[in-house]
């Protein structure tokens, strides 16, 4: 089932809307609805407005009056409250978060501030706004908190994460996301704030920040540089194409049951070595190189607390709401690789902006 947004949703506020998933959500809403979209983002190293600019300026297909950007850090409670009051949202999609596990190990305080304090501030800002809404608007309002399957910890060789899985985070990133999930649930049960949570598997696709595994492998291979893979390379992730995730987010925002969570996965489990091998083989068919690109793969010392396997059982969202992924990995990775080949300049700009050496 593909559902964008019901007709009574007029204003949507997206936090973290200059991030990878957030910008994809905004582009979808702007392109396929008449809804007004408001983007709150602090514009950190991984934030980028280029994909939205591409839609609004270069392609000139969207009425600019339907979109407004606010450069605001969720740690600033007063400004966050001001944005919520000013935009009068019917729906808040909360995506703003620090998400790079390696960075959480080296700088955990940033993740505590962004993921925990930031979530508290958006919840309180929204609660103050929601409590004063007229009854009709109060009844339709929702806050959708987008989280990760990493809050559930690590799986063995069998089984899958599902909505009832026990929380067992193992990195500063996943611990702070777990805390934010608990805050959202507490605001639902304590204050009656109409919230909903989704926990997704690993996303990939065009416009993803170059530090993440898939763009990193693509770009390192194209540059004929060492492709570092942690440990034995056999850690398994369930890969979800970003466009499928956006469809699921909007569907749950529209029809999901309040006070509950939905697990969203791509049904595409692969080891990190397999991901690298698939990418290298695909690149060889486009830009041949002697002895192939996989020769650049190098196994390095594992990172602390590295979860062994993630796998998602998405039967609840499939059975209740009719969602399932449209992209298999071969189709999604083909589209992703082609995009990165064509957008090397953007990747170099993002690398330079981050000043991160891993």
pLDDT level of residue 4 (50, 70, 90 thresholds): confident
Instruction: Tell me the per-residue pLDDT of 116-149, one tens digit each, with 9 for 90 and over.
Output: 999 999 999 999 999 999 999 999 999 999 999 9
In a domain, 229, yes or no: no
From CA 352, how far away is CA 82, in angstroms rounded?
Answer: 33
In a domain, 358, yes or no: no
From CA 227, how far away is CA 229, in angstroms rounded?
Answer: 6
CATH of the domain at 83: 3.40.50.720
| Two structure tokens written together for 95 | 């995506």
In a domain, 335, yes or no: no
The pLDDT, as a whole number, for residue 100 is 78
Q: Which of 67, 129, 173, 293 is catalytic?
A: 173
The pLDDT, as a whole number, for residue 95 is 98
Q: Does the pLDDT at position 2 exceed 60? A: no
In a domain, 278, yes or no: no
Instruction: Tell me the per-residue pLDDT of 304-327, one tens digit each, with 9 for 90 and over.
Output: 888 899 999 999 999 999 999 999
Instruction: Tell me the per-residue pLDDT of 221-277, one tens digit each, with 9 for 90 and over.
Output: 999 999 999 999 999 999 999 999 999 999 999 999 999 999 999 999 999 999 999
Q: Which of 48, 98, 149, 247 is catalytic?
A: 149
Angle (CA) 237-242-243 rounded to 5° is 140
Q: Which of 41, 150, 181, 313 is catalytic?
A: 150
Domain count, the chain: 1
Say whether 150 is catalytic: yes
In a domain, 104, yes or no: yes
In a domain, 215, yes or no: no
Distance between first and last Cα of the chain: 40
Q: Give me the phi and psi of 153, to 5 degrees please.
A: 90, -135
Domain range for 143 is 11-208+240-268+309-328
Say whether 173 is catalytic: yes
From CA 344, how far away is CA 341, in angstroms rounded?
Answer: 6
In a domain, 119, yes or no: yes
pLDDT level of residue 62 (50, 70, 90 thresholds): low
Angle (CA) 309-272-351 rounded to 5° is 120
Closest CA to 203 of 212, 192, 190: 212
């Amino acid at each position: 089932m593909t559902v964008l947004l019901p007709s009574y949703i007029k204003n949507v506020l997206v936090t973290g809307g200059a991030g990878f998933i957030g910008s994809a959500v905004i582009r979808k809403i702007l392109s396929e609805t008449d809804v007004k979209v408001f983007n709150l983002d602090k514009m950190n190293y991984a934030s980028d407005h280029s994909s939205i600019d591409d839609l609004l300026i270069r392609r000139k297909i969207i009425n600019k009056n339907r979109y407004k950007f606010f450069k605001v850090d969720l740690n600033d409670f007063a400004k966050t409250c001001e944005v919520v009051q000013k935009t009068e949202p019917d729906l808040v999609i909360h995506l703003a978060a620090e998400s790079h596990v390696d960075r959480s190990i080296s700088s955990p305080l940033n993740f505590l501030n962004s993921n925990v304090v930031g979530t508290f501030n958006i919840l309180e800002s929204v609660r103050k706004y929601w409590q004063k809404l007229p009854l009709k608007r109060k009844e339709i309002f929702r806050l959708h908190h987008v989280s990760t399957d990493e809050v559930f910890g690590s799986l063995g060789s069998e089984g899958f994460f599902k909505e009832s899985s026990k929380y067992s985070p193992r990195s500063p990133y996943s611990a702070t996301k777990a805390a934010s999930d608990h805050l959202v649930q507490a605001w639902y049960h304590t204050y009656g704030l109409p919230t909903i949570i989704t926990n997704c598997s690993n996303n990939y696709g065009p416009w993803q920040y170059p530090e993440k595994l898939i763009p990193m492998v693509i770009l390192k291979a194209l540059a004929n540089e060492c492709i570092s893979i942690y440990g034995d390379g056999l850690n398994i992730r369930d890969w979800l194409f970003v466009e499928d995730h956006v469809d699921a987010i909007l569907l749950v925002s529209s029809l999901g049951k309040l006070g509950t969570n939905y697990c969203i996965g791509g049904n595409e489990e692969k080891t990190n070595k397999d991901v690298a091998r698939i990418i290298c083989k695909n690149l060889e068919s486009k830009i041949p190189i002697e002895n192939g690109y996989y020769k650049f793969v190098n196994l390095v010392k594992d990172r602390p607390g590295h979860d062994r396997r993630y796998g998602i059982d998405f039967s609840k969202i499939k059975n209740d709401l009719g969602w399932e992924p449209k992209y298999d990995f071969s189709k999604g990775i083909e589209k992703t690789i082609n995009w990165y080949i064509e957008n090397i300049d953007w990747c170099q700009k993002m690398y330079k902006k981050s000043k991160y050496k891993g």
